[in-house]
A and B are shown apart, each in its own frame.
Chain A
Amino acid sequence: MNVLNFVNAFFSDSAHWHGYDGIPTRLGEHVRYTLEALALAAAIGLPVGLVTGHYGRGGNALSLVATAGRALPSFGLLVLMTTLLGFGMLPVMIPLVVLAVPPILVTTYEAMRSVDPSPVDAARGMGMQESRILLQVELPVALPLILSGLRSAAIQIVSTATIAAYVSLGGLGRYIVDGLYQRNYEKVVGGATLVAVLALVTLALFWAVARVAVSPGVRRR
């Protein structure tokens, strides 16, 4: 039997389409974990990246934090957090956020630094306040790069959120963890396929957002 047969078998089994272990439920859980982790990471990474990028200070400290964040193994962190905090949502969110903050933080900082300084100088010279310069002059130009940072963070969360299943939470990781335990490879492959599809959908979503949110003057098309 090859992988495609596993995929076919998994998705044609009607038992996999309803109930607490059905695809809609697991997919919904997975999307929820992803959105929560991404929102938390963005809430930390975006403001810090925007402000440090605007003032051009703290770049070294940022890359230090980012490198440290990237070096931490998500699974190890999950185990550590569960040991310290017990079972629940929080020990899962921590490794996901730690994973997602560095790409958001670093790309946002770099995006702000790469904005042409002359419009900023012009804006300041015509009496625009700093907050407006940040939001109305720099941000719209930095947006494509910032979105790419958010996109890579989102995709990493989608694939890593499978670890939630190890600490008895839901999500698409459930199929992989349970399938491996039960030696049900049909389930493992099905779960992995769903994760891959969700990652592709995330890509498409970010592409659509960029089409709408980025000015044609910046896209140059």
Chain B
Amino acid sequence: MAKSLRQPEGPGVLIRIDSVTKRYPDGTVAVDRLSLEIPDRSITVLVGPSGCGKTTTLRMINRMVDPSEGTILLDGEDIQRQPVTTLRRSMGYVIQNAGLFQHRTIVDNIATVPRMLGWGKQKARARAAELMERVGLDAALAKRYPYQLSGGQQQRVGVARALAADPPVLLMDEPFSAVDPVVRKGLQDELLRIQDELGKTIIFVTHDIDEAIKLGTMVAVMRTGGHLAQYAPPAELLSSPADAFVEDFLGGDRGIRRLSFFPSARLELTSDPVIPLDATAEQIAAPDAPYLLVTDPNGRPLGWSEPRDLVAGDIRPERLLSYGRPFVPGTDSLRAALDCAVLSPAGWAVAVDTGGRVTGVVSQQTIGEAIRSAHAAGRDDEKVAG
């Protein structure tokens, strides 16, 4: 098999699931001859409809469920060969409703595994305080009890508790399903940030394909009956779903969503149609553009206008047309740029720097060309990889 050019230094495999089947005494098959290689220091998402065996697969990794057939290797070693408590203590475990111990304070909840490993109380609490900061919890919450926290905060405690003994592996079973969408987005961003800092091997179960695409380095789509439908990086999943089931599961807007994986940094910007609020008649007349973008004295965008509606020395910001939501080249994707262009009446996207100052504008046409060339490059890559 040829190695993908996109990953010349491919990460090692930490967990190898080798034709694993889970059959229950009543004959139900939860997982059917599943084989997966879970790469080191990355997020692997198991996603699928309910009853597809994703949670069972996760629970076989820490032996909460034992497979009927097949083996699971952790770092080359059969997980059945080591004591179950040792195995579990080397893996953080986060579940849907956090599962906090309601009789213990937040700091003692987080210190659970270090205490089980025999750390002193002071050392374990110091470690817990450190983790509270890492997952974005106010230190004032340390002495509170779980019932005094919101669902989102409880889930952060759940993540901190799982990370407390610094395990190399983190198992997360639908951790963000029970919180509202705004909190969920915050938790997802936080997880990506923590992952950037810590580089754990995370196996993440969800039924939400958008969450899978957002978080996953690799995404395993499973279908009812415990079959693996496709195992691929998210961009590849969106560009070439393996079959009708995966395509259907991915839902609509695949093309648009795939643009999230293309950077906007290489878009060619122009500042010709950008004029200041105190523009002279010449500055208004000079650009050969149907619309002009007016900026305030700090260089921030105010809005679009046709040149003939502008009077030098009397440009009224309240009369300008909305510029939509600007994008930051380098941070945002082509999807954000296209979205901005579509929302703007002029059909132009506004690019800003991180301080919100306009760095230029880009037309729908230019974005369209960038999308075409990105797709072409993607196809070349697939040919090489295939």
A residues with CB within 8 A of B: 116, 118-129, 132, 137, 140-141, 214-218, 220
Contacts and interface: CB of A to CB of B under 8 A. Distances in A.
Contacts of A124: 64, 88
B84 interface: yes
Contact of B146 (A137, A214, A217): A217
B170 to A, nearest CB: 11
B101 interface: yes
A111 to B, nearest CB: 13
A140 B108 CA distance: 14
B104 A126 contact: no
Contacts of B85: 127-129
Interface string B73-108: 000000000001111110011011111111111000
A129 B84 CA distance: 10
Interface in B131-181: 145-147, 158, 161-162, 171
Nearest to A118: B99
B105 A128 contact: no
B116 interface: yes
Interface in B4-25: none
Interface of B: 62, 64, 84-89, 92-93, 95-105, 112-113, 116, 145-147, 158, 161-162, 171
Given A119-B100, A119-B102, A127 B146 contact: no
B102 A126 contact: no
B86 A217 contact: no
Contacts of A125: 62, 64, 88, 93, 95, 171
B103 A218 contact: yes
B95 A122 contact: yes
A19 to B, nearest CB: 49
B309 to A, nearest CB: 61
Contacts of B161: 122, 126
A54 to B, nearest CB: 16
Given A217-B145, A217-B147, A127 B102 contact: no
B112 A141 contact: no
Nearest to A143: B103
Nearest to B162: A126
Contacts of A121: 64, 95, 99
Nearest to B92: A126
29 contacts: A116-B99, A116-B102, A118-B95, A118-B99, A119-B99, A121-B64, A121-B99, A122-B93, A122-B98, A122-B100, A122-B158, A122-B161, A123-B101, A124-B64, A125-B88, A125-B93, A126-B92, A126-B116, A126-B162, A127-B86, A127-B116, A128-B85, A128-B116, A129-B85, A141-B101, A141-B103, A215-B102, A217-B146, A220-B147
Contacts of B96: 118
Contacts of B104: 215, 217
Contacts of B158: 122
Contacts of A116: 99, 102
Nearest to A115: B102
A129 B2 CA distance: 46
Contacts of A215: 102-104, 145
B105 to A, nearest CB: 7
Contacts of B92: 126
Contacts of B146: 217
Contacts of B105: 217
Given A128-B116, A215-B145, A217-B104, 12 more contacts: A118-B96, A119-B102, A122-B93, A125-B171, A126-B88, A126-B92, A127-B113, A128-B85, A129-B85, A141-B101, A141-B102, A215-B103
B61 to A, nearest CB: 10
A119 B101 contact: yes
Contacts of B87: 127
A198 B88 CA distance: 51
Nearest to A119: B99
Contact of A216 (B101, B145, B162): B145
Closest 4 CB pairs of A and B: A217-B145, A122-B99, A127-B88, A125-B93
A137 B84 CA distance: 19
Contacts of A216: 145
A217 B64 contact: no
B162 to A, nearest CB: 7
A133 to B, nearest CB: 10
A218 B113 contact: no
Contacts of A214: 103
Contacts of B113: 126-127
B15 to A, nearest CB: 16
